[in-house]
Structure 1
């Protein structure tokens, strides 16, 4: 399952949450620091590894 990053709008805490792809549209994990439900998904940068050399 992929890990998504969220940012709390109330306190600014960054949250990592593991969820199934089907859950991602409806998931809004509460902030563990302040308990706020107002969290925004933040895009996560990634690097794709391939067997080929560039």
Structure 2
């Protein structure tokens, strides 16, 4: 399952949450630091590694 990164709009805390792709659109999270429901998904970089050399 993918790990998504979120940022609290109230306190600025950045945290990660593991969730199923289908649940990503409907999940309602609260900040683990301050408890605020004002959290926003933040884009993250990813690294794709393949076994084949080009």
Common fold, TM-score beyond 0.5?
Answer: yes
Structure 2 equivalent of residue 12 of structure 1: 12
CA RMSD in angstroms, aligned pairs only: 0.9
Shift, 1:53, TM fit:
2.1
Aligned residues: 54
Q: 4+ residue stretches of structure 1 with deviation over 6 A? A: none
TM-score, normalised relative to structure 1: 0.91
Q: Give unpaired runs (5+ residues) of structure 1.
A: none
Structure 1 equivalent of residue 43 of structure 2: 43
Q: Give unpaired runs (5+ residues) of structure 2.
A: none
TM-score, normalised relative to structure 2: 0.91
Shift, 1:44, TM fit:
1.2
